[in-house]
Each structure stands twice: as structure tokens, then as C-alpha cells.
Structure 1
Amino acid sequence: MAVQNPNNWHWVDKNCLAWAREYLRQQLVGLSTGEDAKAAQYARVASVSSIDGDCEVSQRKGKVISLFELQVVLLLEGHVGEEQFQGSITVPEVAFDTERDEYQFDVSVYKETATLSAIKPVVREQLLPKLRDVFAAFGPTLLAEHSQDIQVPEAQVNSAFTKENQQATAGVSATKTATAAKPAPGATATPKAATATATATASAGGANRSTLHLEPSFIVPAAEIYNTFLDKQRVQAFTRGPLRVTAGPSKEGSASAGAAQLQIGDAFELFEGNVCSELVSADPGRALEFRWRLREWPAKVWSTLHMAFHESQEFHETKVQVTWSGIPVGEEDRVRANFENFYVRPIKLTFGFGVVL
């Protein structure tokens, strides 16, 4: 980025969220509980489900600082004996002022059983320290990678004060980066390719979209909670309002107008038209996918709400893995609150499908 800032005196910001997402994916995917994938208990980071928050590098008066606060959700896969599993690790806060030992982790196993529960302590003992190393190295690497982009080169700085600050910042950044944890096996220490990928995504319009990952649990079989999102009477019960089908097989006047459940291709409105949605796909008892938007969003802006239903018959609960992509940046908290307050909580209260805290 071009910088017009005489003597590096004024405040300059650079948004690094796209870079952070790609960098953390490179560093985290593939980390595991050990090198032996055939061990009796084994887990690895299969993918990064979502990285949300803010990430910036800023400078003023020659001093460069990083300000970031991210929420990271990782998807796990592995086995305990011959029993395969999938799960997730949620890191509520990866922040610029968080020390290595202060990171918190929520480890979840889908379709959990007494046997699969044994993987949780293994993940905590063998995998979480590796995640801590990556997050501890993130801040210094962020500064090393982007600090020069927001400053005028030192040769063009005439102020002794700002030049001294610039030299001190560069020295601290280099020292921290050199002593940071080693990158994950196969990962690139300074992701030049990541920068190129992030730029391509931004130029394609992807920089103004975000993804949420949620995992509400319901004390009910998967088939029941699956049907709750499709059965028209149930939907109207927990939303406390009419469901109006505006297009598709179930629209009034069509052959399927009297269908008790939403049909694939049905477009409909909820909450007096404040939410517009469309059922895109349905895998009975396993997964649903909707297009979803708030009425206030621009007409062509839609998000994708994907729900996968993981039932633990032993523990008598179903965990709904929600991957919500295409959300306009800045709307994440609003969408999360809407889903928790107008979907999850009312469903539990209306049908007795779980405890409401």
C-alpha cells in the first residue's frame, strides 16, 4: 500500500483480517495429537471453520502496533480405537494482549459416546499446546509481515524522534519473530502466498463477507430438531408468527400448497417479513441448507445457513453444527444474536428440547 505520511508522524491503519485468516489456516490445519495417525487415540485439525473479528496493524510517530481480537473455530477429525469421530475446538478470543497460557479452548466431540470422550484429555494435553504456540507467534509475525507497508522508509524520515521509534519497533518485532514458536509441519513461516490469496479474495468481493460457526445442543433426537426447521406449524409456533411462502412448490395455488413441510425450492418470509429465506437442500435427519437474509440488507445480498445434525444416542442429545457463510461484515453479532434469541431459545422453550440458561 502506498503511504503518504511525512516522517511517519500520523496515524495509519492497515486491515489485515484476510491475511490473518489465510495465515492461520496455513499454520493450524494438520496439527495433531501426534505423528502416529494409527495410534489408539488420535485427533487432527481437519479445517478452519471460521475466523471472525478484527485484525489491524497501525503506526503513529514511528511506532508500529498490532490490534487484533479474533474468534477461531477449528474442525477436528480422528479416532478412538476403531471408532471415528468429528468435532471442533472453539477459541473465543485470540487477542493482541493475550498471553500464551491465557488462551481458552472449548473442545467438542460430535455424536459423543463414553468411548469418544476419552479423546478430550488427549486433545488438551497434546494438541492445545501446539495451538498456543501458533497463537503466541501470530502477533510478532503480523507485525513483521505488515509493519513496513504502513511506514515511509527510514531513509526518508528526517525526524530523529520518529526514526528512533521506527528502529526500536523493528528491533523488537525481529526479536519476537525469531524467538516465536516454530510453524506447523509443512506450513510457511511467512506466508507470501497467503498475501496473494487474500488480495485475490478481496478483489473478488469476498473481503466484505464473513462466516459464523455455532453449535447449539438440543436434548432430542436429530429427526425431531431437523423436522422442527421444516414443519410449517412448528416454525410458526417457535417464531410466534406466520410463515408466508412467496415462491416455490408450496406457494399458494400450486400442487404442493397444502404440504405440511417446506419443500426444496420454497422461498418464504418469517417475523413479519423481516427475515427472507429459501430451502436449498435437505438430507433427512442429517443436514439442511437455506439461503437467508435480513430485509434491511441490499436486495442481492444473501447468506448461506448450513446445519448438520449430529445425534449422540448414548447421551440423548443432538448437536447442530451451524456454518453460516456470506454474512456482510459488521452484521455478524446481529445474525448470531438473532439465531440464538429467535431460533434456538424459542425452540427449547416451546417444545422442551433443552435447558435455557
Structure 2
Amino acid sequence: MAKWGEGDPRWIVEERPDGTNVNNWHWVEKNATGWSKDKLKELLVGMVIEDEEYFGELTELTSIDGEATANNRKAKLIFFYEWVLKGEWSGKLKSGDKKHKGKFNIPNLSEENDADEVDVEFTCNTQTDESYKVKEFLRKKGTKEIQNKLAKYIADLKQEYGKGVILPTKNGQPDAKKLTNSTNKAREELNKLVVSSPKKESKVGVKIHTKKLTGKHEFMCSAQDLYRSLTDIGMVQAFTGGPVEMEVEKGGRFSLMHGNVTGEFVDLVSFAFI
């Protein structure tokens, strides 16, 4: 039996306002799914993306699939959320009146990814040169702006649901040092391992002989479909299964397979030549 005053602090009842979950030791979970759905609609539906030449708008969220929770375990605040968002957009050239429409997809909004790592994919309903330009504008400019909105969702989630999960002590305030961010701890540890022990540059090596590879292939599809499959970021992401960076223009760079495949568009003509 412990001596007087030396008991396990988990079981010592403090003079606290609520009288429950002493020292914030036990698991507390709050469901933030309903709030999150409303917040994501508020942030994204009606969002305008524009510059001097183009105008675009996110008109609707057609699907919000996932869940979000706030958890307190051993006085540590942890957030879990995982969402797949689908919606529709419309846009046009400011110099014209014709509206173009399409869809957008956000497949990996979760606590495992920072907001700027979340993928945003755009597709258009009609395959014309003008609709393609509007879609590319939304992809290039809109992706970052949407990621900023998602960053606000994450911040608001932590602010809104961090209030009642870490409970106040007898002094009336939660322990500030316990309000930890729910970052990917495993990724942080891996990064430490990578950067903690730099090695001296080795000058020992061998000459690698390389050759130029030229191939000829025939594709059973239209030139328009083939062009799109190699330049539409949504389609390229689909068959590579990872994030894609692509500047579809003469001299533009591209990066596939997490940076393992990189290259440059030396020349290209829409729906005709790459």
C-alpha cells in the first residue's frame, strides 16, 4: 500500500470543476464528423478561383465520405480524420461567355498528410481546347488555394474540439504542454533517422555505361485520348498511383513516381504531338 501522499496520480481526485477523468488520464473521444461535413461545405462550396484571364468556382460537394474524431489519451490530444471529397466546378475565360463544367476529387485528406500534401484532381466534362485550358488553370492555381482552405479546416477542427477534451485542472486551466498536435510521429522519427547521421561523400565509384533507347508503339485510341492520358494530371495520377507534378507546356517539367521519374516536354501540340 502506498504511503500517504504517494499514491498513483491517476487515482488522486483533484478539486476540479467537473470531477471526472482525473488528470486527463483516461480515453475521451468526441465525434467531429457532423461538424466537419458542415465546415468543409462552408469552406469549399462557392469558392472562387480567378485571375486576369480565367474565372472558376467550386459549385457543389457531391460526396463527403469519411469521419473525424478528437481524442484525449493520457492527457495527450490526438485528432483522427480521413476524408474523400468529390464535387463539381464551373469556369470560363473572362474574354468569353461560354461556361465549362467538370468534377474535382480530393482523395487523401487525413491526419497522415499535411494540407500541402493533399492531392486535388480536376477533370472536365467536355473535351475541347478551351475547357482543357480552364481545367488546367484550376489545377495549377486552384490546388494551392484549396489546400489553404483544408489547412483552415484542420486548424478549426483542433480549435473547436480541443476545448472540452483536455479537461481543466483544479487551477481552472488545461495543461498547455499537453495540447500536442496530431502530426505523423512515425514520419518525424524517420526524418530524424535520415538527417541525424550524415555520411562523408565517397569518391569511390565506377563508370556506368548508358545507351539511348528508342521505341515505336501503336496505341488503339484516338490522338486526343492519347494526348490527354499523358498530359492530364488526373489520368497520370490514376495509372502511376502517386502524386504528379506537371507543367503541360513547351519546356515544362514533369515529375512522377515520387520524383523517381522526371523529364521535360521538349515540344507539344494540343491533341496532336508530344
TM-score by length of 2: 0.54
Q: CA deviation at 1:19?
A: 0.5
- Give the structure 2 partner of residue 33 of structure 1: 49
Q: How does 1:56-95 map to 2 (within 5 A)?
A: 56-80=69-93, 81-95=96-110
Give CA deviations for 1:73-128 in whole Å, capped at 9, x if unaligned: 12211223332122111000101121233211220111332221111221022211
Write the distance in 2 (CA, Å) between the matches of 1:77 and 1:154: 51
Structure 1 unpaired stretches of 5+: 174-313, 316-357
Q: CA deviation at 1:30?
A: 2.5
- Give the structure 2 partner of residue 132 of structure 1: 147
Letter in 2 for 1:74: G
Letter in 2 for 1:168: K
Write the distance in 1 (CA, Å) between the matches of 2:68 and 2:157: 9
**1:12 touches 1:60 (CA, 8 Å); kept in 2?**
yes
Give CA deviations for 1:177-235 in whole Å, capped at 9, x if unaligned: xxxxxxxxxxxxxxxxxxxxxxxxxxxxxxxxxxxxxxxxxxxxxxxxxxxxxxxxxxx
- Among residues 21, 24, 33, which one is paired with 1:5 in the alignment? 21
Letter in 1 for 2:132: S
Q: CA deviation at 1:15?
A: 1.0
Please provide the CA RMSD for this pair. 2.7
**1:56 touches 1:68 (CA, 8 Å); kept in 2?**
yes
Q: 1:169 to 1:112 in 2, by over 3 A?
A: farther
Letter in 2 for 1:98: N
Write the distance in 1 (CA, Å) between the matches of 2:44 and 2:170: 38
Q: How does 1:162-311 map to 2 (within 5 A)?
A: 166-170=175-179
**1:31 touches 1:130 (CA, 8 Å); kept in 2?**
no
- Give the structure 2 partner of residue 260 of structure 1: none
- Give the structure 1 partner of residue 134 of structure 2: 119
- Give the structure 2 partner of residue 42 of structure 1: 55
Write the distance in 2 (CA, Å) between the matches of 1:49 and 1:65: 29
- Give the structure 2 partner of residue 17 of structure 1: 33
Write the distance in 2 (CA, Å) between the matches of 1:77 and 1:25: 17
Write the distance in 1 (CA, Å) between the matches of 2:122 and 2:42: 21
Question: Rg bigger for which structure?
Answer: 2
How many pairs does the alignment contain? 165
Give CA deviations for 1:253-303 in whole Å, capped at 9, x if unaligned: xxxxxxxxxxxxxxxxxxxxxxxxxxxxxxxxxxxxxxxxxxxxxxxxxxx
Q: CA deviation at 1:157?
A: 8.1
Q: Percent identity?
A: 23
Q: 1:91 to 1:107 in 2, by over 3 A?
A: same
Structure 2 unpaired stretches of 5+: 1-17, 183-223, 226-274
- Among residues 45, 48, 51, which one is paired with 2:64 in the alignment? 51
1:82 alignment partner, SS class: coil
**2:121 touches 2:139 (CA, 8 Å); kept in 1?**
no
Write the distance in 2 (CA, Å) between the matches of 1:101 and 1:171: 20
Letter in 2 for 1:96: E
**1:83 touches 1:116 (CA, 8 Å); kept in 2?**
no
Give CA deviations for 1:128-161 in whole Å, capped at 9, x if unaligned: 1111112223223211111122232233689xxx
Letter in 2 for 1:13: E
Give CA deviations for 1:33-87 in whole Å, capped at 9, x if unaligned: 22x6xx6432111122221112110001211111111111122112233321221
TM-score by length of 1: 0.42
Letter in 2 for 1:50: S
